[in-house]
Structure 1
Amino acid sequence: MAVPHRLPTPSAPPGTADALARRLAGRPELALRFAAARRLVGQHVGEGDAERWSRAVAALYDANAGPALMQAMWSLEARLLPGASAPMLPEFWEAARTLCRHAGAAVARQAVDSVAGHVPYGGDGAAPLALLRAMAGLAARAADAVAPLLGAFDAITDAVDASGLEAWMADGLALYPADRRRRAAYFSLADALARQRLAERGGAVRYAIHEERLRKLTRGLFGFDPEVRVIADRHLRRTRLAGGLLLMPARFNALAAEEAPAAFEAAVLHAACHRVFTTTRFSVGRMKPVQIALVALLEDARVERLAARRFPGLARLWGGWHREPASRAQTVPSLFARLARGLADPGFTDDDGWIAKARRLFDDAFAADPARQAFVPEIARVIGHDLGQLRIPFDARNHVVQPLYRDDGLGLFDWEDRDRDNADALELMVEAARLREEEIDAGSSEGPAEPSESARVQPRAPDEEGAVLALHPEWHYRLRAEQPDHVTLRLYPALDGPADALRAQLAAAQGVRARIDALVRRARLDRPTRLRRRLHGDELDLEAAQEAMQALRLGDMPDPRIHMIRQRQGRDVALMLLLDMSQSTADAVGPEGGTVLSTAALSVALLGEALAGLGDPFAADAFASNGRGDVRVTPLKDFDERWEAALARLAAVQPAYSTRLGAALRHGAARLASRAHHRRVLVVMTDGEPSDIDVEDDAYLVEDAKHAVARARGQGLDVFCVALGAAADKAGAGIFGRRNTFPVTRVAELPQRLAALYYQLTVR
């Protein structure tokens, strides 16, 4: 996000530096620093560039920068020279001036100090200048956002470069153009969507696209589904076990996209091994941080060996990630990585005595009783003591487990069972508790806005969740972009209910059934057929006309049938019905006293019966949503099923939850787009605007549904809405268009609405 307009630097006559020096004479601390900076700059730039620099310094001073900001700029400049080019120096001062004018001198100084931490001595200065200019651009547009950003500056710049920062800031301004409170939450990374967008702008390798494959793989090998939560948190550098959850970082540094499938597979299956073979959590007691890290390393090796006994291919999967070469390095990161490789690969050779002793102790204990988990801390105490004798320091704060597929180990310990005097383990304990399971359940639904406390998704028991059908993107109208893999569709199999009441309603609607059947049968929905060699028609049959001309030239009587007619004589149509079963469909509709859902069910039954009689391919699904992670799809009828099977399922459908319409539309379009038919029709039966419990912005889901409709029509599908209820007509027209929305308040109105729908199909 570049500075929208550069503030003009006040004109000054030659000798600006001398004039500024005279003005600073009454402020000795500034005068001395300016004189030193002037000499330094003069050593590296020419006279003309030095004059431009002096003007930029004077301009910042005139903007009421104050001594703290001026001195911060001179300190930054001392780090830049001699690496920065001469024209670049005034650019730093101009960016600082923009920050000072819009956000104030104190914020500008904090920004300069933050950027200075990213400037190596003698560096070229391009990257720091881009960061400072990006923040100056933000100050010019939303000065209140700069201070929150600076509070999270290191985390943000760890994830993105300057261009990514500009894009991420533009996202925040688009999301919250007028809401200062939410804008502050975004730029301080307190907003979940801010963390998600930062991970995406930083090129995060997404776990979501691999989720269903790994769910099936884990279930096949170990008999259970992994529960994974993706967390956009810079403190989470490796996966973490948290009760029954596996916390997955949204961004792995140094993970190439082509390596992602194998990395996620190794990580999920490694976590599954802990769930199967780590039967109790380790007591911390008086363990030092280095012993805790060694216990985690040894337990990783133990569970992987046990799993590899059952499935030898896992050893090859994990072994490919152990790449630390043998060496003489006596540092903890190198020793730990080489020990991990030695325990995973019997053929690995390393001459270090500490590694050799650790491997020998582990191999002997594992051979004696591999299921005895207690031998792990016993060995850790011995080799941890040896490491201390070698005077090799262990940095608990910055320790990162290697290789990257392994969890950070903190979830393997019972932190409550800790000696109260063991202060060394306190920092690790705090880190282990920072991302508690209940916080993940409540806060990981990273929607477009922060829902109120009453609207948060309540935790669900694992057995209540349906199997994942698909992951779909969702359109964010403020960002003007799709959020990939944002919505999870889950399959909830249909139940069979008593269909007698529905059959009775069908029998009572005999007249309606007859009219619908007649309308459907009259509709011609196939590809137009050319009827050639006709006496009359709308087009000329070129082949017949050529033959007639040849006959005339030869003196023969020409055939007068030289016209052609285009007609639809058969049917080539597939229909997909999506039935809204959200809680609002329990409301009454029309004077007949039925609910929206019962009217919809009867409408589906009437139409389905007519289509079944013609043999047209026809499918129907019901849908509702409980947040973006649980969009519920209940199949009522597949394309190849007999219609009678759907009656009992329709009778059992009950209203519940919310309406995430865009996700349902993408699901229906995906099913219908694969059908090879001339006309493919998607019909949504709903009672109003889309809504969901994790969305507060009324326009968000409406705009997403519009985008989903446009995308479906771009696939060659006809998309219509049957709006059930008085209020649904206006909402449906805003999404599907007035011509493609058909209001129905009474069952008796359905035939004429269907007639209009089929008329549109036949005239195209």
Structure 2
Amino acid sequence: MAASTTRGKYVISSHSQEPAQEPGDPDERLVFLINEGKHLFPNEYYPLWETACGKLSHAGYGALIPLSYARHSPKLVKILNSETAINFAATVSLAAIKVNRAAAELLPKAAVIAAHELKSTQAFTSWVTTIEELIYNAPESLLAVLERTQKIVSTLTPDQFRAWVLTGLRSTGDDALRQINYFSFTDPESEKWFRHEAGDVVFTDLDRRLKLYLLSLWSLRPPIRDLPASTSPLSLRRISISNGVVRVPEVFPGFHGEQAEKIFRAGLAHVGAHLVYSTKIFPLGELKPIQVALVSLLEDARVEYLAIQTFPGLRTLWQQFHVAKPSGPKLVPLLLSRLARALIDKEYKDKDGWVQKGRDMFFDPQNDMTDPAMCRSIGVLLGNDLGQLRAQFNAKTYVVEPAYRDDNMGLWDFGDQQGQEEDSDGIFIEAMRMDREEVEDDSSSEQEQDQKENDEDEQQYHARESTDSEQRESEVAVRYPEYDYLTGSERPNWTCVLEYFPDFGDAYKIERILEKHNNLVNRITKLIQTAKVSLPERLHRQSVGESLDLDACVNAVISRRMGDTPDPRIYSTTERKHRDLSVMVLLDISNSTNDKVQVSGTSVLELEIQATSLLAYAMSELNDPFAISAFCSDGKEDVHYYRIKDFNSPYDTRARAHLAGLHGKLSTRMGAAMRHATEDLVAQRTHRRLLLVISDGEPSDIDVDDQQYLVEDARKVVRSISRLGIDTFCVGLDAGGDNYLHKIFGRKNVAVIDKLEHLPEKLPLLYLRLTA
């Protein structure tokens, strides 16, 4: 049976449905359709179109492909123009060669739908270009995309369509099965990125702001995550609280722009009300599904009532999403929506007796609003009333309304309830605990954390999402955006940087390096004594200087007129009195650093360690705050990051052991590592902040074929860092790396070491020149 998809007024099918008036023989049908085309193509274009039909007919693609083109391409003339319709034959031929006959036959039909929606030749040409990219890069997925043409072109512009396709290609690599799952919307990530490109507000766009909103409103910082892909379709539409974690849908369908942001905020405010006021979990007992739904609804109303007493403005935020009308059929979901509105909207009037009874029982003055038990008793009675009305309730299809409210699964214990009432604080107390990934109490004071949170300019750089670190106990996971030069935009939360504990090596190895380079250490020490980096200070009343000190000059004139000897110190000058600099050294430890240097036979990584040891000696002697980190990568979901020394930790035996224990492995996703390193630099309050990158190769990774992609991303990162007032400099260990390093860091911000055996000597001296 032929698979088909109906979208709007067009039907896309893998097999043609022939009009009754056409001849039965395929060759005769083609002649018939070509003759019909005479009425649509201008005289000068008709021969060209006829030739295009002939070429498809004689190319050995079978009969259906030329028939499909001959039948549908004249429609492109009506919508666009003749030239576009004729040129499109080349794309059909490409699909027949690179993909298969089914996709090539379907392509002209999809083209008519695209042309009808897009309406302009330029937009249609852009759509065709993207289709051709799919043909070359994901041929097995072309049919899936064509079958969904109506959904795609009615939602996305051609540029957005290309961005969504490129996202699929970037995320799936060369895996044909993963590509098919993405482009057929089987993979939940596909719908997420589809909505993102369509301009819908998705959770990841607001993640950080929502967390700060919840913190400022309720002083809570529960773990907040997007709903997992395994979640059922109905549950994907509502917030959920489970095992102490708040799960939020990626998108609220039907809400766009400012309204979408408001519903996310309303949902998080509602969750906060539960975390504060829902102090008990209800035992299920023998309650019926309708009674469970009612108790949950009443508990929602109760916690919102208490929250509004503290924050009256929340009523406006929540009430706007209650849109139930006091009329319509007496269906249970509609009655529940009407009751929900009646319990929050003072102006809402509903003549239904059941809704009125529910409102009166809820606001009975004898009720204790701080006791969740009132909701259970009222819910049981109201549920019995609905049972007597024989109203039908389908728990499997029921979705809580309005949309900002959670699914209430966290309110219930569905297991053995013996003794549960006496010890039922569980989930909500658990949810109020601080997320270890969000707050690092052992590494920074609360005051420093608040300073970071409130720095609005630097917050904009933190386009990231902290995630569960369940894979390894020692691991912290942080998500960052990544820039795609083909779309000219960043994909939010695209890469994941995982912090691993570095191995311990021989700390005395670092001491032996200093002893080996004793002459260089002495030279560095002498240079250190004159090195100054700080904000220039203006010194007044100087004997010499580059400008006059006006106050001193006035006093000198007054003294002279009074007959006194004037003070000759009438100049002012500027001078750097002390160093005010912090440095992050970021080491590339990818697999290529294991290569041996021909002259010395030492590995590149070993030279990096030697050079960093001498550099660390210089920085510690200068008392410059500094940190050392290393990175490598194994795809976008596993960028390894190792903290050798943090800014707030000493350069002691432990740090030296971590430095000595580094091993070269994997690839070089430089942009993600630089974003993560910058997070620490942003928190430094020195006059100058420097990110010093030491790398031996071009950015690359196992899931990236486009060599320019990661270079452009790293370049974008450097520009973003610069806007934060942070300098970047790269020491390149690749003699042929001038081109890409200059492109990433700028010509003035790169030093390429041609003879790697000289790196230990050159790096600390280069640092001193950089910071002079």
Specify if TM > 0.5. Answer: yes
The aligned counterpart of 2:11 is none
In the alignment, structure 1 residue 514 sits paired with structure 2 residue 528: no
Query: 1:610 aligned to 613, 618, 621, which one?
Result: 621
Could you say which residue in structure 1 is the equivalent of 2:655? Answer: 650
Residues 415-426 of structure 1 aligned to structure 2 (within 5 Å) = none
Change (3 A) 1:115 1:25: closer
> Whole-Å Cα distance in 2 between the matches of residues 298 and 98 of structure 1?
63
Q: Measure how far apart 1:198 and its partner are.
A: 1.8
Quote the Cα distance in structure 2 between the aligned partners of 1:73 and 1:671: 62
**What residue in structure 1 maps to residue 339 of structure 2?**
339
The answer to whether structure 1 residue 168 and structure 2 residue 156 are counterparts is no
Cα distance change on mapping 1:386 and 1:415 into 2, 3 Å: same
Which residue of the partner structure matches residue 329 of structure 2? 330
TM-fit CA distance, 1:516: 1.2
Question: What is the root-mean-square deviation in Å for CA atoms of aligned residues?
Answer: 6.6
Secondary structure class of the residue paired with 1:329 = coil
Secondary structure of residue in 1 paired with 2:675: helix
| 1:560-599 Cα shifts (integer Å, max 9, x gaps) | xxxxxx9999887734223449798998998999978964
1:90-169 paired onto structure 2 within 5 Å? 101=93, 102-103=95-96, 106-107=102-103, 125-127=116-118, 138-143=130-135, 144=139, 145-150=141-146, 156=152, 160=156, 164-169=160-165
The gaps in structure 2 that reach 5 residues or longer are: 1-17, 417-466, 538-572
Matches of 2:642 and 2:575 in 1, distance apart? 35
The equivalences for 1:48-67 within 5 A come to none
Q: Does 1:371 align with 2:358?
A: no
Per the TM alignment, residue 266 of structure 1 is displaced from its structure 2 partner at its CA by: 2.5
Q: Deviations over 1:582-625 (max 9, x none)?
A: 7989989989999789647633531213322xxxx543253658
**Partner of residue 560, structure 2:** none
Residues 1:350 and 2:347 are matched in the alignment = no
Alpha-carbon separation, structure 1, partners of 2:282 and 2:90: 55
Q: Distance between the aligned counterparts of 1:291 and 1:115, measured in 2? A: 52
1:667 and 1:567 map into 2 onto residues whose CA distance is: 36
Residue in structure 1 matched with residue 555 of structure 2 by the alignment:
none
1:266 matched to 2:266: yes
| Partner amino acid, structure 1, of 2:327 | R
- What is the number of equivalent residue pairs in this alignment? 633
The Cα shift of 1:711 comes to: 5.0
State the partner residue of 2:404.
405
Looking at structure 1, the residues matched to 409 and 195 of structure 2 have their Cα atoms a distance apart, in angstroms, of 23
In the alignment, does 2:670 pair up with 1:661? yes
- Contact (CA 8 Å) 2:586, 2:694: kept in 1 or not? yes
C-alpha separation in 2, matches of 1:342 and 1:319: 13
Q: Does structure 1 residue 755 correspond to structure 2 residue 765?
A: yes
**CA displacement 1:378-405 (0-9 Å, x = unmatched):** 357436536754x8x97975x6543332
Report what 1:248 is aligned to.
248
Q: 1:495 to 1:363 in 2, by over 3 A?
A: farther
Structure 2 SS opposite 1:620:
strand
Secondary structure in 1 matching 2:581: strand
Please list, as runs of the form range in 1=range in 2, the aligned pairs for 1:453-602 lying within 5 A after superposition: 460=470, 472-476=480-484, 479=487, 481-486=489-494, 511-521=519-529, 574-580=581-587, 599=610, 602=613
**Separation of aligned partners in 1, 2:334 and 2:73:** 35
The Cα of 1:483 is off from its aligned counterpart by: 2.0
State the distance in 1 between where 2:739 and 2:68 align: 62
- Kept in 1: contact 2:68–2:108 (CA 8 A): no
| Partner SS for 2:627 | strand
Q: Using the alignment, how far apart are the partners of 1:57 and 1:160 within structure 2?
A: 30
Identical residues among aligned pairs (%): 23
In structure 1, how many angstroms separate the alpha carbons of the residues matched to 2:240 and 2:22? 57
1:198 matched to 2:194? The reply is yes
Deviation at 1:158?
7.3
Equivalent residues in 2 for 1:732-747, closer than 5 Å:
739-742=750-753
Q: Closer, same or farther in 2 for the Cα pair 1:761/1:239, shift >3 Å?
A: same
For the residue of structure 2 that corresponds to 1:484, the secondary structure is strand
In 2, the alpha carbon distance for the partners of 1:128 and 1:754 equals: 62
TM-score by length of 2: 0.59
Residues in 1 aligned to 2:590 and 2:255: alpha-carbon distance in whole angstroms: 44
Aligned to 1:719: 728
In the TM superposition, what is the alpha-carbon distance from 1:519 to its structure 2 partner?
A: 3.2
Kept in 1, the 8 Å contact 2:238–2:248? The answer is yes
| In 2: Cα distance, 1:105 partner to 1:504 partner | 69
Whether the 8 Å contact between 2:214 and 2:269 is mirrored in structure 1 is yes
